[in-house]
Amino acid sequence: MSALWDQGSAEAVTARERGIHAIPLPTPFGIGPINTYLIDDDPLTLIDTGPNSGLALDALESELARLGKKIEQLELIVISHQHMDHLGLSEILARRSGAPVCALGALAPWLTQYDDWMEADDRFAAAVMLRHGIPAETCLALRSVSRSFRGWGAPTTVTRALAEGDELILRDRTLKVHHRPGHSPSDTIFFDANSRTLLAADHLIASVSSNPLIARPLEAPLAGKKDAGELARPKSLMIYLDSLAKTREMGPIDLILPGHGPGFTDHAKLIDERFRLHERRANKLCELITERPRSGYELAQALWGNVAVTQAYLTLSEALGHVDLLISEGRVTENFDDDGIAYFEAVSSPTN
């Protein structure tokens, strides 16, 4: 669980001096509160909205009132990515305020047909789990849990589609749009070069390591020739590490405002720590695979034990991401048993 903002911290004070107010909102998820950010500028802008819940809406209204603002005064709503704790209230807030909603262009159809896309994402996740050894009953249980969670999100109409390199021009700042997939396919961050402030959403969090969840590609059709079982599995961790490398070279940056937990400084140091973390984890998995061939599910169990059903896909994604690194380095190969379940085997003489 991520730590809470200390409103008296140097980072919080600096953010307020720059006209940015962190508004943590409650979520039902283990990560804890999600940070929305009110940018007191022209237009009055809200970055992310929190989950679709009365508790989150009440908390947002209360915090806005403390700042002398109301939902009806919002003039721009920006969605950083597709996870429900970041977008659930978007349509309600847009309807009450009349504010346009901005999001990555590739995400717009997903948001408009939220329920259909969530169902397609769940089918894709189930196919990945079955292919990598998670028992069918666990897959069914996790799909039921996922369906019960969907209400924390809601369909949203995007009125301005964003793309890499676009700019959101406000009176006192310009936010440059950067697409940084990995944690999700739609992760988008916003950088004010003048004040050296990065609104990083879940791309980079100081208190926890962002999970590169294996997700159905945004460009995949809802229905068509390729069903859930035929779609190629994205190499989410490798995509995420590439995105981190791009963010590391940005700058100078002296304030990072994340989607969870407190703001922080020195993004390069944190990113280097993340690189080392993933290298250590990949090496640990290589040791396990060298002992004997294992499925992705067996690798996840070896690292984290028998986790709760709600964590099964997260831990599988983590294990498969590091296996992808090992395969790319020529240290591991992927094969399939007679039941079509993938297993990973060490290469005796690595090619790299």
Q: Tell whether 85 is covered by a domain.
A: yes
Give the alpha-carbon dihedral of 131, 137, 143, 149, to 10 degrees: -130
Pick the more confident residue, 5 or 261.
Answer: 261
In a domain, 295, yes or no: no
242-252 burial: b if 16+ Cβ within 10 Å, else e: ebbeebbebee
Does residue 27 form part of some domain? yes
The pLDDT value given to residue 1: 52
The whole-angstrom separation of Cα 316 and Cα 295 is: 10
Inside any domain, residue 141: no
Residue 350 pLDDT: 46
Where residue 3 falls among pLDDT bands split at 50, 70, 90?
Answer: low
Residue pLDDT, tens place only, 308-324: 778 899 999 999 999 99
Q: Is residue 136 part of a domain?
A: no
- The answer to whether residue 227 scores a pLDDT higher than 90 is no
Question: Is residue 292 situated within a structural domain?
Answer: no
Say which range, 30-44, 119-133, 182-196, 213-227, has the weakest mean pLDDT.
Answer: 213-227
**pLDDT the model gives residue 349:** 55
pLDDT interval class at 352 (50, 70, 90): very low
Q: Would you say residue 338 lies in a domain?
A: no
* Side chain identity, residue 160: R
Total of domains in the chain: 1
Q: Is 257 contained in some domain?
A: yes
Q: Within 13 Å, how many C-alpha atoms sit on residue 178's CB side?
A: 24
Position 34 scores a pLDDT of 96
Closest to 179 (Cα-Cα) out of 240, 104, 230? 104
Whether 240 has a pLDDT exceeding 80, the answer reads yes
3-state secondary structure of 208: coil
Distance CA 273, CA 251 (A): 18
Q: How many other CB atoms sit within 10 Å of the CB of residue 158?
A: 22
pTM of the model: 0.94
pLDDT of residue 291 exceeding 70, the answer is: yes
The residues that bridge with 45 in the sheet, in sequence order, are 39, 76
Look up the domain containing 180 and give its range: 10-113+148-272
Question: Residue 176's domain is classified under what CATH number?
Answer: 3.60.15.10
Q: Does 226 have pLDDT greater than 80?
A: no
- Mean pLDDT score, 28-46: 95
Cβ atoms of 198 and 187 closer than 8 Å = no
What local confidence, expressed as pLDDT, does residue 225 receive?
45
pLDDT digits (tens, 9 = 90+) for 267-290: 999 999 999 999 999 999 999 999
